[in-house]
Structure 1
């Protein structure tokens, strides 16, 4: 039985797909897949640095649910948590969040160029 060797292009495509799979299946994107968590994130962005009391004002979620969502967003690097005395404040971690989105975009661009190169028009 003959063994089919993969071409360089096939190997490159496979590597790009694997890299994109890792990014798309990441905890980062999973954290953003929950609509309530996105609402909590929007509230943090609106208010800037805020504690759970400030964040819960105007939200329909229980404080315990908001707190759990904040913990997940902090765990994946979207938020920064800072304790000051008895208060815990949350704010967006802009550099880390932007870097994660750039990584997703970079992997997607690489895969698109491999799988779907632009068609040259005459």
Structure 2
């Protein structure tokens, strides 16, 4: 029984798949997968920099739920947290968020080039 040897292109494809899977399984995308978390993120973007009191205006979520969503978004590198006295302010971390999207896009482009060549019509 012959064992099929893996070619360089098979190894390259497998490495690209593994890299893309790591990116797709990241905290970043998991944080963006929750619709109510997206609503919280939209509030942060609307206000620019705000505490939970301001962010809870217009949201039909309990403050404790909003707080958990804010922490998740911060841990995913989407928000910056700034504590000033008793108040904690959140704002978008645009450089970090853009960089994370670029990494995802780069891995996706690499994967597409390897396993999904363009179809000539």
Instruction: Give the TM-score category using the shorter length.
Output: over 0.9
1:26 paired residue number: 26
2:4 paired residue number: 4
Find the residue that maps to 2:36 and give its secondary structure. Answer: helix
CA distance in 2, matches of 1:118, 1:56: 47
Is 2:62 aligned against 1:62? yes
Unmatched 5+ residue regions in structure 2? none
CA distance in 2, matches of 1:5, 1:42: 50
Report the TM-score when normalising by structure 2: 0.95
1:5 Cα deviation after fit: 1.4
1:120 Cα deviation after fit: 4.6
Unmatched 5+ residue regions in structure 1? none
Report the TM-score when normalising by structure 1: 0.95
Find the residue that maps to 2:88 and give its secondary structure. Answer: strand
Find the residue that maps to 1:60 and give its secondary structure. Answer: coil
CA distance in 1, matches of 2:120, 2:72: 45
C-alpha RMSD over aligned residues: 1.1
Moved more, 112-121 or 15-24: 112-121
CA distance in 2, matches of 1:65, 1:111: 37
Moved more, 51-60 or 111-120: 111-120
Instruction: Please list every run of at least 4 consecutive aligned residues from structure 1 whose deviation after the TM superposition is greater than 6 angstroms.
Output: none
1:106 Cα deviation after fit: 0.4
